[in-house]
C-alpha cells in the first residue's frame, strides 16, 4: 500500500467521518483533509488506534474549496486518489474535480446530485481523457447499487441470449431512515436543478416528474412505488451494452406518499424554472441548510435501515426478462464502505482516463465481490 496516497476531502463531515474510519480500518493511511485544523487533527487522533499498524495511521491536510489553490495542493502526483464528500456539490463540488483533472489523478465523490454527475461525465470526462484523470462520481448509495444491479441484469439477459432494451432501477430503504445534514442541503439544491433520463438511446432533459410513479415487486409481499429521478445509471449503463435504449431510475423513499411526492416534484420543478426562483430563493434555502454540517443518524439509527435496490430488465416490446434485487446495509454505512473500497481500487487498479460508472471503472465481477464484502448482495 506504500505507493498510494488517498486524500479524503470533507473528512470532518458526517459522511466524511464514516468514510475516514472505513479507510483507516482498511489500512489505506488516508490523508484527512478539511478546512479547520483542530477538527481534522482531532479526527486523525481519534481514528489512529483503528489503523492496522502505525504506518497506516491517517495524516492531515488543510484545504478550503473557496480557495481552489488549497484543493490543488492536496494532489502531488497522478497516482493520487482524491475522494470528496464536500457538498452540496452543485455549490461546492467543482474545485475538487477540477483539481483532479488538472493533476491527472483519480477522483471519487459522494454526490447524489444529478446535474453535477452529468457535468462530470459530459464536461470533465473529455478533459480527463486528455490529462489521464480517472473520474468516478456518485460512488455511494447513490448510485453504485443501481449500477451493480443493472450490470448484473444486463449480463443475465445476455447470457440467456435475450439482450435487454430497457432497465428500470428502483431505490428503496427498508426500516426507519434518518438523513444527514449534507443530504438535506443537497436535496434542496437538486429540487431547483433540471433533471434527465435516458430514452431511445439519448440522454434527454426532464424538468418535471409529471406525477409519474412505477410499482416494483420487491418480494416478500413488498410492492412499492418509486418516482423518477436522474442517476449515474443513465450515463454509465448504456456504455456497457449497445442494445440498451432506455434507462429509468426510480426513488421509493417517500413510501405511500410517493405519488404525492411525484406531483410535488413537478410543481417545484415548474416553480424553480420561474426567473429568479430556482437560482434565487430555492438555491438560497439550500445554501443556508449547508451551513449546518456533521449531523446525521447515529449507529443505532443507521442499523434500523436497510438498502433495497432492484433492476427490472425488459425487451424491446416491454416483456419482462429478469429482475435483480440487492439487499444490504444502511445507505450511510454503505456509502462510506464504497468510497473506501473505490479509493483502494483506484489506487491499485488500472482505470482508463475519463469519467466512469462503477461497473466500467472496475469491472462487474470485482464490483460484485467488493459489494458482497460490504454486505450488499444479490438476493434474486
Ligand X SMILES: NC(=O)c1ccc[n+]([C@@H]2O[C@H](COP(=O)([O-])OP(=O)(O)OC[C@H]3O[C@@H](n4cnc5c(N)ncnc54)[C@H](OP(=O)(O)O)[C@@H]3O)[C@@H](O)[C@H]2O)c1
- The binder of ligand X chosen from 56, 142, 168, 248 (CB under 6 A): 142
Contacts with ligand X: how many residues (CB under 6 A)?
Answer: 37
Give the integer Cα–Cα distance in Å for 83 and 141.
Answer: 15
- Residue 94's contacts (CB-CB under 8 Å, 6 or more residues apart) are none
Choose the binding region for ligand X from 134-142, 146-154, 305-313, 348-356 (rule: CB under 6 A).
Answer: 134-142
Q: Taking the alpha carbons of 155, 156, 161, 165 in that order, is the dihedral positive or negative?
A: negative
Choose the binding region for ligand X from 193-201, 231-239, 249-257, 331-339 (rule: CB under 6 A).
Answer: 331-339
Under the binding rule (CB under 6 A), the answer on residue 66 touching ligand X is: yes
How is residue 186 written as a grid cell? Answer: 443537497
Which parts of 249-308 interact with ligand X (CB under 6 A)? 293-294, 296
Tell me whether residue 92 or residue 164 sits nearer to ligand X (CB atom): 92
Choose the binding region for ligand X from 104-112, 167-175, 262-270, 360-368 (rule: CB under 6 A).
Answer: 104-112
Cα atoms in the 13 Å half-sphere on the side-chain side of 202: 3
Which parts of 214-233 interact with ligand X (CB under 6 A)? none
- The binder of ligand X chosen from 147, 165, 183, 258 (CB under 6 A): 183
Contact (Cβ atoms closer than 8 angstroms) between residue 55 and residue 28:
no
Under the binding rule (CB under 6 A), the answer on residue 182 touching ligand X is: yes
CB 314, min distance to ligand X, A:
26
Tell me whether residue 342 or residue 354 sits nearer to ligand X (CB atom): 342
Under the binding rule (CB under 6 A), the answer on residue 19 touching ligand X is: no
How is residue 373 written as a grid cell? Answer: 464484502
Under the binding rule (CB under 6 A), the answer on residue 98 touching ligand X is: no
- The binder of ligand X chosen from 121, 124, 141, 171 (CB under 6 A): 141
Contact (Cβ atoms closer than 8 angstroms) between residue 64 and residue 70:
yes
Under the binding rule (CB under 6 A), the answer on residue 322 touching ligand X is: no
Which parts of 160-179 interact with ligand X (CB under 6 A)? none
Tell me whether residue 32 or residue 378 sits nearer to ligand X (CB atom): 32
Under the binding rule (CB under 6 A), the answer on residue 310 touching ligand X is: no
CB 293, min distance to ligand X, A:
3
Choose the binding region for ligand X from 13-21, 53-61, 161-169, 304-312 (rule: CB under 6 A).
Answer: 13-21
Crossing angle of helices 258-273 and 181-191, rounded to 10°: 60
- The binder of ligand X chosen from 58, 104, 125, 140 (CB under 6 A): 140
Backbone angles phi, psi at 140, to 5 degrees: -135, -155
Choose the binding region for ligand X from 35-43, 96-104, 195-203, 265-273 (rule: CB under 6 A).
Answer: 35-43
CB 63, min distance to ligand X, A:
6
Tell me whether residue 144 or residue 322 sits nearer to ligand X (CB atom): 144
Contact (Cβ atoms closer than 8 angstroms) between residue 343 and residue 6:
yes
Tell me whether residue 165 or residue 181 sits nearer to ligand X (CB atom): 181
Binding mask 76-95 for ligand X (x = CB under 6 A): ---------xxxxx--x---
Contact (Cβ atoms closer than 8 angstroms) between residue 91 and residue 17:
no
CB 265, min distance to ligand X, A:
17
Tell me whether residue 36 or residue 319 sits nearer to ligand X (CB atom): 36
Tell me whether residue 121 or residue 332 sits nearer to ligand X (CB atom): 332
How is residue 195 written as a grid cell? Answer: 433533471
Where does this chain bind ligand X (CB under 6 A)?
Answer: 10, 12-16, 34-36, 39, 64-66, 85-89, 92, 110-112, 138, 140-142, 180-183, 186, 293-294, 296, 331-332, 335
Amino acid at each position: 500500500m506504500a505507493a498510494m496516497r488517498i486524500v479524503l476531502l470533507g473528512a470532518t463531515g458526517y459522511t466524511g467521518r464514516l468514510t475516514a474510519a472505513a479507510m483507516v480500518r482498511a489500512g489505506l493511511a488516508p490523508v484527512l483533509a478539511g478546512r479547520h485544523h483542530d477538527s481534522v487533527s482531532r479526527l486523525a487522533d481519534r481514528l489512529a488506534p483503528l489503523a492496522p499498524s502505525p504506518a497506516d495511521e491517517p495524516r492531515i491536510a488543510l484545504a478550503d474549496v473557496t480557495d481552489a489553490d488549497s484543493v490543488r495542493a492536496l494532489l502531488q502526483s497522478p497516482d493520487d486518489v482524491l475522494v470528496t464528500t464536500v457538498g452540496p456539490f452543485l455549490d461546492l463540488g467543482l474545485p475538487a474535480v477540477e483539481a483532479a483533472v488538472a493533476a491527472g489523478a483519480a477522483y471519487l465523490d459522494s454526490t447524489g446530485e444529478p446535474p453535477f454527475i452529468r457535468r462530470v461525465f459530459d464536461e470533465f470526462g473529455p478533459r480527463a481523457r486528455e490529462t489521464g484523470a480517472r473520474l468516478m462520481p456518485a460512488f455511494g448509495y447513490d448510485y453504485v447499487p443501481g449500477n451493480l444491479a443493472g450490470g448484473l441484469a444486463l449480463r443475465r439477459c445476455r447470457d440467456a441470449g435475450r439482450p435487454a432494451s430497457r432497465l428500470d432501477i428502483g431505490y428503496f430503504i427498508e426500516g426507519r431512515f434518518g438523513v444527514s445534514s449534507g443530504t438535506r442541503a443537497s436535496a434542496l439544491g437538486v429540487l431547483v436543478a433540471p433533471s434527465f433520463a435516458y430514452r431511445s438511446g439519448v440522454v434527454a432533459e426532464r424538468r418535471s416528474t409529471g406525477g409519474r410513479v412505477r410499482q416494483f415487486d420487491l418480494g416478500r409481499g413488498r410492492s412499492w412505488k418509486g418516482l423518477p429521478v436522474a442517476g449515474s445509471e443513465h450515463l454509465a449503463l448504456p456504455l456497457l451494452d449497445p442494445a440498451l435504449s432506455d434507462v429509468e431510475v426510480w426513488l421509493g423513499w417517500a413510501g405511500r406518499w410517493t405519488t404525492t411526492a411525484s406531483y410535488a416534484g413537478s410543481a417545484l420543478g415548474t416553480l424553480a424554472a420561474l426567473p429568479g426562483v430556482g437560482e434565487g430563493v430555492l438555491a438560497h434555502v439550500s445554501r443556508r441548510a449547508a451551513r449546518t454540517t456533521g449531523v446525521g443518524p447515529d449507529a443505532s439509527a443507521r442499523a434500523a435501515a436497510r438498502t433495497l435496490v432492484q433492476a427490472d430488465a425488459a425487451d424491446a416490446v416491454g416483456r419482462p426478462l429478469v429482475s435483480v434485487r440487492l439487499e444490504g446495509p444502511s445507505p450511510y454505512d454503505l456509502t462510506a464502505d464504497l468510497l473506501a473500497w473505490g479509493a483502494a481500487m483506484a489506487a491499485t487498479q488500472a482505470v482508463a482516463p475519463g469519467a466512469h460508472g462503477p461497473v466500467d471503472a472496475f469491472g462487474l465481477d470485482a464490483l460484485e465481490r467488493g459489494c458482497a464484502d460490504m454486505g450488499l448482495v444479490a438476493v434474486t
